[in-house]
């Protein structure tokens, strides 16, 4: 067989599987076209049930994952295309890299599932391992649990509510099982369509729970008295954000938006991640401008760089932080980001690879904060603070011992322009709100900014690429911590293990 013939054979064999993986992306935010998920996973299960060897299963899962992750995370390339950064030549690397990395997880699921009997048991095993692999993605190599398949339900709060019980990993497991069921259909007679009816019944049960939970929930506009929040979205392009000649103008934009119409009713102002290049806790000019953005007794939560210096005044550590300042310029406290972005905020194994540099313009690594903490500041309710992608980690956004009343997520998605990435990021914030039973206020440089209640419902928002602000009251948290908020990721893991055990149990065939 010639090289050309081998390539044609390879393409015919694997490109349809890659296409199935790409199809699943169509069900993710912002598209939300659910039939794509059914087509994708039903097709994968159909092929998996016709797979005989471990090698075939590995190939099937890898190329499915390559399609899903390479296209689903292709928006990361936008960060390499920003003018002046010098990384444009590397823009093709993220889709390929994420595809190669991401393909390993469905590959593992297929390799384990092929050991189980064909049919329903194989689907059960595949769904369980898929859920476990999403959990593995949340911590392996510092973790990157982006686009769990359960996030396809974020446009439908009624389907999100089970995340309060088993988190997104449990919802993902159920989603893969539901959407894979049609792949077990063997014909078009009523009896042969049993897998399809089973999918309908499971969806009905999940939505039934969602309707029941939302019926008991308070009205989304039932807010806490005396707390009125302004989420500022300056929409500063990433190419201008760190230019020295733009620094004062960018700060003035934040101040003007903070003091725009309706500011007399605002108690809390929230600015996005690294809102200004000024060091707010050290620069008297910048802090003076900040105080002009606040009314008496007002409080500002601002994403800002924060430093720690030695006795000689030399810089020892730099943090990506949220600083809290009152109306007379006094710092009330701060939170330092603890889960840093590889190659964005630090270079992994930098001593071994000194020639690798970060994408961001800061020439050295950021310091690491103390982790998830409930912060208590004067004149505000106990709050959990999250910087950028810290919000994507299920079970690691709120302190359990001292439960906050709300979460604040500041971010700068301006790195990724007008792409699907910010929509997927916002969907992660919705999921965390449901999982923890906590309202979440999100301020993003270029969007999406918004207020999400404890049930994942969006009460106010400002779309991607818009300059402005959005005012919202603070919705109430759930009276008690959710089941998932109490027990964390042990819940979906136990569920997945039970599903695996059920798939492995011996059974007798009925005698005719």
- Give the model confidence (pLDDT) of 240-279 as tens digits: 888 888 899 999 999 999 999 999 999 999 999 999 989 9
Domain spans in the chain, listed from the N-terminal domain onward: 11-217+490-504, 228-475
pLDDT on residue 80: 83
Give the pLDDT of residue 359: 58
Length of the chain: 512
Q: Which CATH class is domain 228-475?
A: alpha beta
Which of 475, 303, 468 shows the shortest CA–CA distance to 406?
475
273 is catalytic: yes
Among the options 253, 337, 358, 375, which is catalytic?
A: 337
- Omega before 259 cis (within 30°)? no
For strand 449-452 and strand 440-444, is the pairing parallel, antiparallel, or unpaired?
Answer: antiparallel
What pLDDT sits at residue 310? 86
What's the rounded Cα separation, in Å, for the pair 74 and 92?
Answer: 9
**Annotated catalytic residue within 273, 390, 435, 436:** 273
- Asked if residue 174 lies in contact with residue 181, where contact means CB atoms within 8 angstroms, the answer is no
* pLDDT the model gives residue 116: 96
Per-residue pLDDT at 506:
83
337 catalytic per annotation: yes
Catalytic residue from among 36, 110, 388, 496: 388
Three-class SS of 198-230: HHHHHHHHHHHHHHHHHHHCCCCCCEEEEEEEE
| Residues lower than pLDDT 50 in the chain | 512
């Amino acid at each position: 067989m010639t090289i050309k013939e081998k390539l044609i054979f390879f393409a015919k064999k694997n490109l349809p599987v890659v296409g199935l993986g790409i199809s699943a992306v169509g069900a993710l935010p912002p598209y939300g076209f659910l039939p794509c998920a059914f087509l994708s996973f039903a097709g994968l299960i159909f092929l998996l049930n016709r797979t005989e060897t471990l090698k075939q299963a590995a190939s099937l899962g890898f190329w499915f994952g390559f399609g899903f992750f390479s296209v689903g995370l292709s928006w990361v390339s936008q960060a390499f295309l920003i003018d002046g950064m010098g990384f444009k030549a590397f823009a093709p690397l993220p889709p390929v890299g994420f595809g190669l990395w991401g393909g390993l997880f469905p590959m593992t699921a297929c390799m384990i599932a092929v050991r189980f009997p064909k049919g329903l048991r194989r689907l059960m095993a595949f769904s369980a391992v898929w859920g476990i692999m999403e959990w593995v993605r949340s911590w392996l190599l510092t973790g990157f649990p982006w686009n769990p398949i359960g996030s396809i339900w974020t446009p439908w709060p009624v389907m999100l509510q089970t995340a309060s019980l088993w988190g997104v990993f449990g919802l993902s497991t159920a989603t893969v099982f539901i959407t894979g069921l049609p792949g077990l259909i063997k014909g078009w007679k009523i009896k042969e369509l049993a897998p399809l009816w089973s999918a309908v019944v499971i969806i009905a049960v999940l939505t039934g729970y969602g309707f029941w939970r939302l019926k008991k929930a308070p009205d989304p506009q039932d807010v806490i008295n005396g707390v009125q929040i302004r989420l500022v979205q300056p929409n500063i392009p990433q190419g201008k954000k760190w230019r020295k000649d733009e620094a004062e103008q960018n700060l003035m934009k934040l101040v003007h938006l903070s003091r725009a119409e309706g500011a007399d009713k605002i108690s809390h102002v929230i600015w996005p991640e690294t809102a200004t290049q000024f060091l707010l806790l050290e620069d008297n000019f910048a802090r003076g401008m900040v105080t002009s953005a606040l009314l008496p007794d007002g409080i500002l939560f601002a994403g800002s760089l924060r430093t720690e210096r030695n006795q000689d005044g030399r810089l020892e550590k730099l943090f990506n932080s949220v600083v809290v300042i009152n109306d007379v310029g006094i710092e009330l406290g701060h939170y330092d980001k603890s889960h840093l972005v590889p190659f964005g905020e630090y270079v992994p194994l930098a001593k071994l690879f000194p020639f690798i540099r970060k994408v961001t313009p800061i020439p050295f690594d950021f310091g690491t904060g103390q982790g998830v903490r409930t912060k208590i500041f004067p004149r505000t309710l106990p709050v959990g603070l999250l910087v950028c992608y810290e919000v994507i980690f299920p079970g690691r956004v709120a302190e359990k011992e001292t439960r906050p009343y709300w979460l604040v997520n500041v971010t700068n998605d301006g790195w990724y322009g007008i792409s699907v990435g910010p929509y997927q990021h916002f969907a992660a914030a919705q999921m965390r709100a449901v999982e923890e039973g906590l309202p979440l206020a999100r301020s993003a440089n270029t969007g999406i900014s918004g207020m999400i209640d404890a049930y994942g419902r969006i009460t106010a928002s400002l779309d991607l690429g818009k300059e402005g602000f959005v005012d919202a009251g603070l919705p109430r948290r759930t009276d008690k911590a959710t089941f998932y908020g109490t027990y964390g990721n042990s819940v979906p893991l136990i569920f997945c293990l039970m599903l695996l055990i059920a798939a492995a149990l011996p059974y007798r065939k009925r005698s005719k």
